[in-house]
């Protein structure tokens, strides 16, 4: 689906383990920034000005006129800031080369699923070492759960997202479906009513395939069903236990039994994507697409809704996920860089990011001030955040964990293989990965 930004959320999360990452860092996955304590910027500028460097996947100058904000930081500290925008398709190569040659910038962004791997390899310095706890506690739980590892907070987010489902209300009306489904059973039945196989229209569309974006989504369905990839203490696989097995069997049935979701079948849609092309009626997506649809509304009546959940389980919405500013542990300017990290978490930067870049701020106090979030569809996305969030395992071996899981997911959903057997095999691979750390 087309997005207004050069890098869509799918691009953010798209990737499995890259060979370069394994070689340079012992295994990382490539695929959101946050507030800072009041910058201790009342101090006099350093005697000798320093140029601090940042790499990110966002074109911050285009998106939020970052140079204006960095100029204010320079006024306060005397230090210059040089930001480099690295498009998503070039991130792995540039980052892995920098890590291997110890030529990383003072600050770089990291996908949250890599936080534990970077921390365990001492690649980053915990943000909680120099950012006030009150600021860190202001982040939404879904963000906090992703960047906290070993009792410390390792990254600062600039954006916040909520997973959800867009619904074509006109298609609902035409097929006599009078309510947006909230449970898995209702979702299946609505999907049957809305699917038109001869017309190439699907009632449901959820991500399938082998990449981290798909794994991120499937983690939601597993968690909704009371399951997890790992045990609560992180010492063994839980992916082959009833919660995960039931979730994967449900997704398999949508594709292969009820035939209400495309699975491996390619939806014939234009460049605008299946939802805008009216090739699906209910599509799993997220708040990252809302900005484009607010600016250029779809040519039909639509809404944003929570993802259906099992009727007998507690409702849960959203798996925390995003990219975060991290301080390189070997920066030659640790004190100056810490000051910049505090600035990137502070009210001035975070307010500008919400007003100019993405209105859903990862800091609750900033989001509370955004009037736009009190109106639909943003208010619907914020309501979803309030329901409750979970996280993928924050573990140094996550790259190997997700690789095993993705192989199983694909064989079950696309290959129509029995869920238990495929997840038993994934559990064995995951336990071997856990034993090897």
pLDDT in tens, 255-308: 999 999 998 777 766 668 899 999 999 999 999 899 888 989 999 999 999 999
- Domains of the chain with bracketed CATH: 9-161+321-391 (3.40.190.10), 163-318+396-435 (3.40.190.10)
pLDDT beyond 80 at 13? no
Between CA 238 and CA 393 the distance in angstroms is: 11
Q: What's residue 143's pLDDT?
A: 87
**pLDDT band at residue 315 using 50, 70 and 90 as cut-offs:** confident
Nearest residue to 378 via CA among 394, 354, 404, 399: 354
Mean pLDDT of 157-185: 95
- Nearest Cα to Cα of residue 275 among 10, 2, 8: 2
Average the pLDDT over 348-365 and give the result: 95
Calculate mean pLDDT across residues 27-37: 39
Compute and round to an integer the Cα radius of gyration of the chain.
22
27 compared with 430, residue with greater pLDDT: 430
CA–CA distances in Å: residue 175 to residues 178, 179, 274:
9, 11, 18
Looking at every residue in the chain, the average pLDDT score rounds to: 88
Give the DSSP letter of residue 360: S
Per-residue confidence (pLDDT) for residue 125, from 0 to 100: 98
pLDDT score recorded for residue 267: 74
pLDDT above 70 for 124? yes
State the average pLDDT over residues 37-57.
67
List the one residue out of 340, 342, 339, 372 whose CA is nearest residue 354: 372
Query: What does the pLDDT read at residue 72?
Result: 98
> Percent of the chain having pLDDT more than 90?
77
Residue 47's pLDDT band (boundaries 50, 70, 90)? low
pLDDT greater than 60 at residue 19: no
């Amino acid at each position: 689906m087309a997005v207004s930004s050069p890098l869509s959320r799918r691009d953010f999360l798209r990737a499995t383990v890259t060979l370069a990452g394994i070689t340079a860092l012992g295994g990382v996955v490539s695929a959101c920034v946050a507030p800072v304590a009041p910058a201790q910027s009342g101090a006099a500028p350093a005697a000798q000005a320093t140029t601090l460097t940042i790499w990110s996947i966002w074109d911050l100058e285009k998106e939020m006129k970052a140079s204006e904000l960095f100029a204010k930081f320079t006024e306060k500290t005397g230090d210059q800031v040089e930001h480099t925008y690295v498009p998503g398709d070039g991130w792995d190569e540039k980052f892995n080369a920098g890590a291997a040659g110890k030529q990383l910038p003072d600050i770089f962004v990291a996908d949250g699923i890599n936080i534990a791997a970077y921390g365990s390899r001492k690649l980053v310095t915990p943000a909680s070492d120099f950012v006030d706890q009150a600021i860190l506690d202001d982040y939404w739980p879904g963000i906090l759960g992703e960047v906290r590892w070993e009792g410390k907070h390792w990254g600062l987010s600039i954006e916040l997202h909520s997973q959800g489902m867009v619904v074509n209300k006109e298609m609902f009306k035409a097929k006599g479906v009078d309510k947006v489904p909230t449970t898995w059973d209702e979702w299946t039945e609505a999907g049957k009513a809305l699917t038109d196989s001869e017309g190439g229209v699907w009632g449901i569309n959820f991500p399938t395939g082998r990449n981290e974006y798909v794994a991120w989504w499937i983690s939601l369905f597993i968690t909704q069903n009371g399951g997890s990839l790992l045990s609560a203490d992180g010492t063994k696989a839980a992916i082959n236990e009833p919660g995960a097995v039931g979730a994967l069997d449900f997704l398999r049935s949508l594709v292969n039994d009820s035939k209400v979701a495309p699975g491996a079948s390619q939806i014939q849609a234009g460049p605008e994507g299946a939802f805008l092309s009216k090739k699906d009626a209910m599509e799993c997506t997220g708040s990252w697409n809302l900005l484009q649809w607010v600016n250029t509304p779809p040519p039909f009546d639509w809404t944003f809704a929570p993802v259906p959940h099992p009727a007998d389980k507690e409702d849960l919405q959203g798996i925390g996920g995003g990219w975060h500013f991290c301080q390189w542990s070997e920066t030659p300017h640790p004190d100056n860089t810490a000051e910049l990290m505090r600035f990137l978490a502070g009210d001035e930067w975070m307010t500008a990011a919400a007003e100019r870049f993405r209105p859903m701020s990862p800091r609750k106090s900033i989001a509370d001030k955004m009037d736009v979030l009190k109106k639909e569809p943003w208010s619907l996305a914020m309501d979803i955040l309030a329901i409750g969030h979970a996280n993928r395992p924050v573990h140094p071996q996550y790259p190997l964990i997700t690789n095993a899981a993705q192989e199983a997911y694909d064989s079950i959903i696309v290959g129509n293989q029995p869920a238990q057997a495929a997840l038993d095999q994934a559990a064995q691979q995951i336990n071997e990965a856990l034993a090897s750390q």
